[in-house]
Structure 1
Amino acid sequence: MDGFGDNFDQADVDPAAEFLAREKDQLAGLGDDVIPAASESNASDDAPANSGVVNYDYEYEFNEAAPVVREEPEKIKKWREEQQKRLEEKDKEEEKKKLELREQAKKELEDWYKHHEEAIGKTKASNRESAKNAEKQFVAETAEIEPGTEWERIAKLCDFNPKSSKSSRDVSRMRSIILQLKQTPLTSNA
């Protein structure tokens, strides 16, 4: 291992001890200027000077003079009072407007529900009438059953519009068969 410059055989030399010794030599003169807190004249007489015990019974003297409080000018006081009154008035007005808006909204909502119910009622009535008319027409047509008109009646029930729905199945073949049967009805051999 000597080729790498690592010499682990010397167990006598401690690198940390060498570092500490070097630092101690370099910083040796700096510690003389610092006075420990316990060695000041304010330290307690019971504790030795270098014991590290600090006497916290010592009271510091602060400048007890109260900070000067500047009085607000009279104009600013009046402005603050007026501003406070204006804000209170605005708050009252805002509460009144809120109540008015809530009442108005409640009335509009009731009116909307009333009109909605009327519209639904009208729609139901018209649907019933149209269903009754369609039923009457269907019953009238069933009474007039003539032989050979069956396919014509079926054709009336079917929607022959080729563009009716793009999502449904292709029923063009069925449509053409029904139209063909309508035009040339089958004759029964009875």
Structure 2
Amino acid sequence: MTSRHTVHSRPFRPDAEEEEKKAELKATAKKELEEWYARYHEQIEKAKLANREVSKNAEKEWVHERDSPAPKGQEWEAIAKLCDFNPKAARNSKDVSRMRSIILQLKQSPPQTNKTP
């Protein structure tokens, strides 16, 4: 009984080798975490730059398309491109479903213009 009693009564003291391994693991984990954050922030910055470039190009293309004259007979199609046809049911907004339907009808069958002087 004395051997068992002495094992339990002895205070737990981690040896130096175990403490050294813990410190090494903590240092490795800290280094890996810092590297991960560096890669993460680098990816975010690259994505921001790419998104800005895409946005600039899309805006330039939209302005060019908006400012270029529509071919004869396709004026209503150009107007329909500028309109938002997604229905939005906000309480404070006006109902524009009738306007949307008229623009779509004009796009599909534009009115005949008489050009007789």
TM-score range, shorter chain: 0.5 to 0.7
Contact 1:160–1:175 at 8 Å: present in 2 too?
yes
Q: Identify the structure with bigger relative contact order (alpha carbons < 8 Å, sequence gap 6+).
A: 2
The total of aligned residue pairs comes to 105
Instruction: Please tell me the root mean square deviation across aligned C-alpha atoms, in Å.
Output: 3.8
- Inter-CA distance 139–91: structure 2 relative to 1 (3 Å threshold): same
TM-score, length-scaled by structure 1: 0.40
Partner residue in 2 for 1:104: 28
Structure 1 segments of 4 or more deviating over 6 A? none
Selected match of 1:176 from 70, 80, 101: 101
SS at the partner of 2:105? helix
Q: List alignment gaps of at least 5 residues for structure 1.
A: 1-71, 163-167
TM-score, length-scaled by structure 2: 0.58
> If you compute each CA radius of gyration, which structure gives the higher value, 1 or 2?
1
Partner residue in 1 for 2:54: 130
Q: List alignment gaps of at least 5 residues for structure 2.
A: none
In 2, distance between residues paired with 1:145 and 1:182? 16
- Inter-CA distance 120–184: structure 2 relative to 1 (3 Å threshold): same
Selected match of 2:77 from 122, 131, 152: 152
Amino acid paired to 1:116? Y
TM-aligned CA deviation for residue 80 of structure 1: 4.1
Q: Percent identity?
A: 52
Greater helix content: 2
After TM superposition, the structure 1 = structure 2 runs for residues 15-34 of structure 1, keeping only pairs within 5 Å, are none
